[in-house]
Structures are given as structure tokens and as C-alpha cells.
Amino acid sequence: MIELPESHVLVEQINKTLVGKTIRNVVANAHPHSFAFYTGDPNTYRKKLSGKKITSSLKPGTGYTCGNVEILCEDMLLVISTPIKYHATGEKLPKSHQLLIEFDDFSYMSCTVQMWGGMFCYPIKKNGSTKDKVCDRCSVCHKGKCPDPLTDAFDQIYFDSLWSNAKPALSVKAFLATEQRIPGLGNGVLQDILFNAQIHPKRKLQTMNDKEKKKIFRSIKSTLKAMKDKGGRNTEKNLFNCNGGYEVILSNNTLKNPCRVCDSKLIREAYLGGNIYYCPICQK
């Protein structure tokens, strides 16, 4: 899954680098992956996309889905939720890939699934809608128009509505990073959001007061903005296979370091299908 800061970075880079290029050839599912997902038969992608020009990449929250990278190829839409790489003319291509697009200048775009990822392809009707339902990832989405946390539409009122519709017994990790209530907010960015809010990932919603709820909201906005403004996290790669400039506070890479606030030993635990990282003093 591409998380929100990297989605924004990829969209900006695609618009600067790929727009105007014409697709010459497409290879999908060359190296089958159990958790690589396509729209129908991936062998049809070449016919659907060859000869199409890349016209734009849609800013997260403004397109047909939530929390994905969307690339318009004239009357076709690519929806991608796995890392995307650009390969300039003459550069070495990846040995394994689940989607490889060749352009008319003999440069390439590739997708190689890590844990899981979707590379969907939809026709766009003349009225701008898609033939098939595209957005079905999140539990609260209304026609693919969930507010992006980096926009003013994602305000305290909207966040409070998500909170009030959630089960009080949910942990804050389950609330923020499962069921895609906030598309693009996953377990990766969650760690720093909760560290900055001084909230433990296992805290139940019903145990938190309004002040703590507001701290979580403010941290979502400010932490995601910092990640995006610095070109994504230093644990993730951008379109050009370079790490982002935001230095992640909590991850497997920082576990050996003491807490930057109180110097306590950081903790890693398995929880809800993934690891959580926290400071036992700052996030009681």
C-alpha cells in the first residue's frame, strides 16, 4: 500500500515526468504474485493502454478513489496502490515486475509488488465516470470523495464524525489504520502521528477525553504535512527510487535509538496484524 505522503509526492513527480508520454507497450503479470491484483485479465492491458498518452495524475482526494495514485491515459484510468518507479531511456529495468509500461521515448514505468498491491485499469466514459465501481476500499467513502487530511475539508468536524461513528472499544490504531477510514493513513505513518500526539497505539477511544482527541487530529494534519513537504519518508522510495527527506521517528530503523524526548528505550510489539512502535513513558 502506498501511504498518503508518498501518494502526494508520486503524483507531483508523475505530472512533471510522465505527462505527455505515449504508451508504446504494456506487460502485466509477467512475474505472478499472490497478492498482485488487476482489473479482469492482465493480458488485456496492452490492448487497452497501447497508443494512449499520459494526460495527468490526479491529486489524492480529487479523483475516482481514495488513497491511491491515479494516472489518466486519455480515456483510460490506472489506479495503483503499489510503489511506482520511473526508468529513463537506457536505465536497467527491474528483474521482477507486475506491471511494466514502455513509452514512445523508450523510457519505462514499473510496479513491483512488495506485500500486496493493486494495478487496476478502467475505461472512462464521455461523462467522466467509470464503467465499473472503482472506490470500494474504505468503510466511509462516498463516491471516492473522502476528504484528504492535507486539505481544509478534513477539519475537526469531519474527524469528530469519524470518531463518533466508530465503536468506543476500538483502539486508536484500529480506528486510524484499519478499514481505511482515512484512506492512505496506514500503519507506517501511524507511528509518528501517535508519538507526536503522545498517545499509545493500544489506547481505547472510550478512555480518551476531548483534549486528547484534538491532539490526535492536530497530529494527523501536521505530521502528514511534514512528511509530504519533505518529499515523503526516508523509509520509502519515490518515483526515481530515492528515499524521502522526512526522518521517521518510530520504525524498525530507529528502534535501537532512545526516545528523542525522554531517552527511554523504545518498544516494538506485534499488534493487529503488524508492528507498533512507541515510547512507554511519552505514550503511556
pLDDT at residue number 137? 43
For position 235, what pLDDT does the model report? 97
* Three cell numbers written together for 13: 513527480
pLDDT value at position 109?
98
H or E segment to which residue 217 belongs: helix 210-229
Residue 14, SS3 per DSSP: helix
Euclidean distance between CA atoms 107 and 105, whole angstroms? 6
pLDDT of amino acid 134: 53
3-state secondary structure (DSSP) of residue 161? helix
- Smallest CA-to-CA distance from 128 within 118, 143, 139, 108 is with 143
**CA 55 → CA 18, 45, 68, distances in Å?**
8, 18, 17
Note the pLDDT of residue 67.
Answer: 77
* pLDDT at res. 31: 95
Three state DSSP letters for 220-264: HHHHHHHHHHCCCECCCECCCCCECCECCCCCCCCCCCECCCCCC
> Domains of the chain by range and CATH?
4-123 (3.20.190.10), 156-278 (1.10.8.50)
For position 136, what pLDDT does the model report? 46
Divide the 284 residues of the chain into consecutive groups of 10 and give the mean pLDDT of each group: 93 98 98 95 97 94 81 96 96 96 98 93 74 46 68 95 96 94 94 98 98 98 98 97 98 96 97 96 96
pLDDT (0 to 100) of residue 133: 47
